[in-house]
Amino acid sequence: MKNQERLKFLYQQFLANNLTEQEIEELFVHFQTPDEKELNFLIRQEFEQTEAETNASPMEEILLDRVHAHLKDHIHSGDEKNTNKRRLLIYGIAAAASILLCISIGTTYYLMSKQQPGQQIVQHELIDIKPGSKKATLILSNGKMISLNDVRTGMLAQQGNTTVTKSADGRVVYHQNKSDESGAIVYNTITTPRAGYYPLTMADGTVAILDAESSIKYPVSFNKTERMVEVTGQVYFEVKYNSAQPFRIKVKGQTIEDLGTKFNVNAYDDEPSMKTTLIEGSVRITKEKQTVVLKPGQQATTELNKNTIQVQAVDTEDAIAWKNGQTSFKNENIEEIMRQAGRWYNLDVRYQGQPSKRQFIGGISRTANLSDLLKILEFNNVHYKISGNTITITP
């Protein structure tokens, strides 16, 4: 209770622009913790009160005016060494406020530039491109291709001693009827297109969820010594651990071995690095002569055309936001954002001139239409031209 009262006091001081340097530090520390429910409650209270007090302006304009006022007051006061922390504090509160605001109007999205956006917004005719959806192609061992979004639930195929079905919730599930003593390994492959994703449950109970423009090649049943799969793009795994039957993933010259775990692999060809993020358990990653073992909350990164694996602590929620129905942007520039948007909305993204390196914090629901993302980009002074599925980012 004391902590809640203290947070409420600090938030009220923030609104009144009366925070001392020590109080700024104290409130800033709150944004390094995962629990922001109390602060969100205070923000919601203020917006409800503000909405009740005025009928003149839309709620969105009130939010933006207030954020800009606080941004100007805080960043241009005090000494230079606290400028960055003040800015991050403002945007932390702005982002939390924006989430609540947008939930109230039906679509969860927020995106704040780390630099103050310009005031002029170029109006565009909004192009409504629907977001991605559950769709994929299953390729059987004989080469037969099954469009998974076109088939009904029930049995899809018989692969040796394994039955392949589509469940009521739309995932592909493998049921191994009895052990295969022949030793022959039969492979299936699932591929997702741009603007698609698909969940899979393999014969051992391991779950894999494929993001857009991804693939996984896997045995329909596993032998007694190991379980080996190959992936491209981005895939989230929840592996059924079996010490006598290691689960290994081959991807871009690396081998990832599960040691009882939940983890995410991002290995898109158009990304400058491959990233493996550990949520629970442990994984061992090997590339060339280097081997690292990750702990929960760590991410292994390998830069393009390099063999060195770098390990750092990260916010795992950002890495698996896509699996949870969100797209997360944390300190990402417009090229990084548009690579994700291109895959999810099936866009051909082009650039006129040199793209800005300005960084953004925020995200958007993966159920939002493209027009929702474009509105936010416009507010943040990002200009573009769009024709069909081609979008050109302009200076």
Amino acid, res. 242: N
Whole-angstrom Cα distance, residue 281 to residue 258? 8
The confidence band for 270, taking pLDDT boundaries of 50, 70 and 90, is: very high
- What number is the average pLDDT over the span 320-337? 91
pLDDT at 282 over 70: yes
pLDDT per residue as tens digits for the range 63-91:
444 444 443 444 343 444 444 444 444 44
> Which one of 10-14, 61-65, 170-174, 358-362 scores highest in mean pLDDT?
170-174
Whole-angstrom Cα distance, residue 5 to residue 302? 45
Amino acid, res. 292: V
pLDDT of residue 123: 46
Amino acid, res. 186: V
Whole-angstrom Cα distance, residue 360 to residue 23? 26
- What number is the average pLDDT over the span 223-227? 86
- What number is the average pLDDT over the span 263-274? 96
The total number of residues written for the chain in this structure: 395
pLDDT of residue 14: 63
**CB contact at 8 A, 324 and 366:** no
Q: Which residue has the tokens 């709150």?
A: 30
pLDDT of residue 183: 62
The confidence band for 206, taking pLDDT boundaries of 50, 70 and 90, is: very high
Q: Which residue has the tokens 């997360």?
A: 328
pLDDT of residue 191: 98
Q: How high is the mean pLDDT of the chain?
A: 79
What does the block give as tokens for 37?
A: 């429910």
pLDDT at 238 over 70: yes
- What number is the average pLDDT over the span 21-39? 57
pLDDT of residue 181: 57
- What number is the average pLDDT over the span 15-42? 58
Q: Which comes out higher in pLDDT, residue 307 or 310? A: 310
Q: Which comes out higher in pLDDT, residue 63 or 221? A: 221
**CB contact at 8 A, 171 and 164:** no
pLDDT of residue 5: 72
pLDDT at 111 over 90: no
The confidence band for 259, taking pLDDT boundaries of 50, 70 and 90, is: confident
- What number is the average pLDDT over the span 270-297? 95
pLDDT at 394 over 50: yes
pLDDT at 248 over 90: yes
- What number is the average pLDDT over the span 255-283? 95
Q: What pairing do the DSSP bridges indicate for beta strands 196-201 and 172-176? A: parallel
pLDDT > 70: what percent of the chain? 68
The confidence band for 12, taking pLDDT boundaries of 50, 70 and 90, is: low
Whole-angstrom Cα distance, residue 191 to residue 111? 31
Tell me the β-bridge partners of 364. 109, 327
pLDDT per residue as tens digits for the range 176-194:
887 655 567 899 999 999 9
pLDDT of residue 307: 84
The confidence band for 122, taking pLDDT boundaries of 50, 70 and 90, is: very low
What does the block give as tokens for 211?
A: 């993001």
